[in-house]
Amino acid sequence: MRIIQVTPRFPPAIGGMENHVYAIATEFRKRGHEVTVITSDDIDVGKKSIGRNMDVVNGIEVYRYPLLFRRMIREYWFVSGVTRALKNLHADVVHTHGYRCLSSCVAAYWCKRNKVPVILTPHGIYPPRSLGNALIKFVYDYSLGNLLLKLSNKIIALTGNNRQLLLKIGAPKDKVVIIPNGVDTAKYEKVRLNSNVRKRSNSDERVLLYVGRIDWNKGLEKVVEALPMIIKEFGRTRFLIVGPDYAGYSDNLLYLARKLRVYNSIVMTGRVSEEELLLYYSMADIFVFPSIYEGLSLSLLEAMAGYIPVVSSKSGGTGDVLVDGVHALLLDDCSPQEIFTHVSALLHEPKFAKKLQENAFDLVYKKYSWKNVVNKIEALYSEVCNKT
């Protein structure tokens, strides 16, 4: 098949959606399909751009165009050259990524007019963060968002929770199919091995790890607020935050850390290479993920594949995938006290932590490898192509 992926950002940009598209595009290419990506030239929001229109990433042809209004409407990404690229590239199927994304709307409309099947993966459908933001989302959902859902031949929900949200905002029930995120299980075998080496070194420093964007919805301030209690109980502790800053939110975290006198216990790495990321995973005693909302976090699956015990919120799809006390310790309200209690339970009871690690590891390997995920997406592509 000739497959086109339309996404607002693509590696070297960092993020869950970015990594998801890269992973499935790479797997499809391995299977002999022709894969092209249409995306923006953005790397870090409002800061950098690639500066070229055509790129090749691991053998995948990538067409990059300016991202318009990146500061004004960063959630409603609009890649300027989507229709131009679609006109010049023949496709058997187009796969768009991002629900509240203007480029998805443009691509879906073009596909409908030109009788090309289009599949939508909305990824996260984030709740409003202010009254004004709620109004904008309401207007979008009942106009362009509703049109996008109707134009799409099929809609991929990452979890059951994600599916319910889609049905609530008007997605036709017969179009929604659940296909989760995945993880490169072979890659994280190295994390297991390196982690075992670290634990035998008898380091007395505890490392809490978060991987992902630094943004308002990630709940990172709650971990910072829990740090004084954790340090008092366990001594030397480091909170390692790996990922790019989104809209300067790291300043808020550092201000809070200074106020609570835990500034020296916070490490923010910013963007890192793949090799560095694997190293940071291997350093972690506990992976913390107190996000307000997620579709299904790739970094969460990576931590599980890397054999790291997890403390996470139940938000979005996480509560569908993980069972509290079986695969991870899940947070009810994500308060600093609750984070401290769960972290303490794992550090005080290593046998219990190991049991959670084993269960989570087995779950990822059985259900969330990219090979299994792409098998399902490939079957969906074939289905919509045969019906067109």
User: Which pLDDT does position 48 carry in this prediction?
Assistant: 54
User: Which pLDDT does position 285 carry in this prediction?
Assistant: 93
User: Which pLDDT does position 198 carry in this prediction?
Assistant: 54
Q: What is the pLDDT of residues 139-160, one digit of tens each?
A: 988 999 999 999 999 999 998 8
User: Which pLDDT does position 56 carry in this prediction?
Assistant: 85
Q: Which residue has the tokens 């996008």?
A: 148
Please, are residues 330 and 319 in contact by the beta-carbon 8 Å criterion? yes
Indicate the average pLDDT of the chain: 88
pLDDT band at 30 (very low <50, low <70, confident <90, very high): very high
User: Which pLDDT does position 46 carry in this prediction?
Assistant: 47
pLDDT band at 45 (very low <50, low <70, confident <90, very high): very low
Quote the radius of gyration of the chain (alpha carbons, Å). 21
Structure tokens at 342: 């769960």
- Strands 54-57 and 154-157 turn out to be unpaired
Q: Using CB atoms within 10 A of its CB, is residue 71 exposed (0-12), middle (13-18) or buried (19+)?
A: exposed
User: Which pLDDT does position 120 carry in this prediction?
Assistant: 98
Q: Which residue has the tokens 């913390």?
A: 288
* Ordered domains of the chain (ranges, CATH): 2-182+369-387 (3.40.50.2000), 189-367 (3.40.50.2000)
User: Which pLDDT does position 343 carry in this prediction?
Assistant: 97
User: Which pLDDT does position 187 carry in this prediction?
Assistant: 82
Check pLDDT > 50 for residue 200: no
Q: What is the pLDDT of residues 335-388, one digit of tens each?
A: 999 999 999 999 999 999 999 999 999 999 888 989 999 999 999 999 999 886
Rounded mean pLDDT, 194-218: 76
Q: What is the pLDDT of residues 278-313, one digit of tens each?
A: 889 988 999 999 998 777 788 999 999 999 999 999
d(CA 34, CA 312): 38
Check pLDDT > 90 for residue 52: no
Q: Using CB atoms within 10 A of its CB, is residue 35 exposed (0-12), middle (13-18) or buried (19+)?
A: buried
Please, are residues 159 and 317 in contact by the beta-carbon 8 Å criterion? yes
Q: What is the pLDDT of residues 95-141, one digit of tens each?
A: 999 999 999 999 999 999 999 999 999 987 877 777 888 898 889 88
User: Residues 148, 150, 155, CA angle at the centre, nearest 5°?
Assistant: 75
Instruction: Give the rounded percent of residues in the chain with a pLDDT score beyond 70.
Output: 92
